[in-house]
Amino acid sequence: MKIVVCVKQVPDAKDVRLDPNTNTLARDGVQSIMNPYDRHALEEGVRLKEQYGGTVTVLSMGPPQAGETLREAVACGADEAVLVSDRAFAGADTWATTHTLSQAIKKIGGADLILCGKQAIDGDTAQVGPGIAERLGIPYATYVKKVVTCENGAIRLQRMMDDGYDTVEMDLPALMTVVKEINEPRIPSLKGKMKAKSIAITTLNAADIGADPDQIGLKGSTTQVVRVFTPQVRGERAMLTGTVDEVVAQLVEKLESLL
């Protein structure tokens, strides 16, 4: 079984915070990490490989630095790494990104199973997985929390819904996006790290994957960011002061009027 896992390098969102003085994002010390959901997708891919046999290829679209994330993926069990990198990809929205990634998957010979994290923590769009599947014309399942079986050319899994979960089955080739509940990602092994250090990352540019120039990067994007701003928080504040009993009395009064 040929498994492709799509991973994205993202800024560690928990470090991104507002600088109260400049009201801008302070990014001192913000590290680039593998999108946390993608770590779970990778782990699931590696487990499926270990159970059913096959290979795991990690694929990322990004600047050359994203190679570090691919090496990390190799240390965690991926066999091969492919980076799609071209300045022409910059500014891509999800429409352009899915074109690029689906072209890359075709270029490397397709896949029996494609795994993605449910979303990336920088954009949170959750669109790339389904978009790739649609462009490749294959079925998909989102928010997968458990793979039940993967046999006889079909995969059966449980996907989360807002009110429970559905057990569904689809024939391969197929794509799935996973939630964190699906597994506990492993810590990279020593042999994996050694392999990651020496592995040659296949790097493909826009021409290599036969990308349609009208469908990549900023130009190929269907959406456009017109404004970026920091969220406005409501300012009216009445501080209740006094002894504990006085404060509680005021709170009771407020609650009574509200309830």
Partner 1 sequence: MDYFLTEEQQMIVDVARQITEELIIPQRAELDETEEYPREILKAMAQADLYGLYIPEEYGGFGGGPFAMVLALEQIARGCTGVATAYAASALGAYPILISGSEEMKQHYLSDIAAGKRLAAFALTEANAGSDASGIQTTAVQDGDHWVLNGTKQWITNAGEADIYTVIAITDRSKGPRGATMFVVEKGDPGFSVGPKEKKMGIRCSATCELIFKDCRIPKDRVIGRTGAGFITVMKTLDLSRPGIASLGVGLGQGALDEAARYAKQRVQFGKPIISFQAVAHMLADMAIQVEAARALVYAAAKHVSAHPNDASKAASMCKVFATDTAMKVAVDAVQVLAGYGFMRDYPVEKMMRDAKILQIYEGTNQIQRNVIGQELNKEYT
Partner 2 sequence: MLRIDIEACIGCGVCEQTCTFGAIKVEEGHAVVGDNCTLCGNCVDACEVGALSIEREERATKGNLADWSGVWVYAEYRHGRTAPVAFELLGVGRKLADERSVKLAAVLLGSNLAGQAEELIAAGADVVYRVDDPSLAHFTDDAYGNVLTDLIREHKPEIVLAGATAIGRSFIPRVATSLATGLTADCTDLAIRAEDGALLQTRPAFGGNIMATIVCPHTRPQIATVRPMVMKPLARDAARQGAIIDVKPAAARMKSRVRVIESVMEEQDQVNLCEADVVVAGGRGLDDAKGFAQIRELADVLGGAVAASRAAVDSGWIGYPHQVGQTGKTVAPKLYIACGISGAIQHLVGMQSSETIIAINKDPNAPIFDVATYGVVGDLFEIVPKLTERMRGRNAR
Site for partner 1 in 168-227 (CB under 8 A): 186-194, 197
Torsion angles phi and psi, residue 84, rounded to 5: -100, 115
Cis (ω within 30 of 0) for the bond into 173?
yes
Interface with partner 2, residue 251, by CB under 8 A: yes
Report the residue from 90, 149, 153, 212 that binds partner 2 according to the rule CB under 8 A. Answer: 90
Interface of this chain with partner 1, residues 101 to 160, rule: CB under 8 A: none
Structural element, H or E, at residue 9: strand 9-11
Q: Nearest distance from residue 180's CB to partner 1, in Å? A: 14
Report the residue from 74, 133, 196, 206 that binds partner 2 according to the rule CB under 8 A. Answer: 133
- Using CB under 8 A as the criterion, what x/- string covers residues 137-156 for binding partner 2? --xxxxx------------x
Q: Which does 151 bind (CB under 5 to 8 A by kind): partner 1, partner 2, none?
A: none
Would you say 73 and 201 are in contact if contact means Cβ atoms under 8 Å apart?
Answer: no
- Between CA 185 and CA 12 the distance in angstroms is 17
Would you say 149 and 40 are in contact if contact means Cβ atoms under 8 Å apart?
Answer: no
Interface with partner 2, residue 228, by CB under 8 A: yes
In this structure, which amino acid lies at residue 60?
A: S
Interface with partner 1, residue 254, by CB under 8 A: no
Q: Which does 194 bind (CB under 5 to 8 A by kind): partner 1, partner 2, none?
A: partner 1
How many other CB atoms are there within 10 angstroms of residue 63's CB atom? 15
Tokens of 46: 């590696």
How many other CB atoms are there within 10 angstroms of residue 76's CB atom? 23
Interface of this chain with partner 2, residues 182 to 221, rule: CB under 8 A: 214, 218-221
Q: Between 46 and 66, whose beta carbon lies closer to partner 2? A: 66
Tokens of 85: 């990198």
Q: Which does 193 bind (CB under 5 to 8 A by kind): partner 1, partner 2, none?
A: partner 1
How many other CB atoms are there within 10 angstroms of residue 25's CB atom? 13
Structural element, H or E, at residue 4: strand 2-6
Q: Nearest distance from residue 47's CB to partner 2, in Å? A: 21
- Between CA 179 and CA 139 the distance in angstroms is 18
| Opening angle at CA 214, ends 208 and 219, nearest 5 | 110
Would you say 45 and 68 are in contact if contact means Cβ atoms under 8 Å apart?
Answer: no
Contacts with partner 2 by CB under 8 A: the residue count is 93
Report the residue from 187, 190, 200, 238 that binds partner 2 according to the rule CB under 8 A. Answer: 238
Q: Between 173 and 192, whose beta carbon lies closer to partner 1? A: 192
Q: Which does 22 bind (CB under 5 to 8 A by kind): partner 1, partner 2, none?
A: partner 2
Interface of this chain with partner 1, residues 38 to 97, rule: CB under 8 A: none
Tell me which residues touch partner 1 (CB under 8 A): 186-194, 197
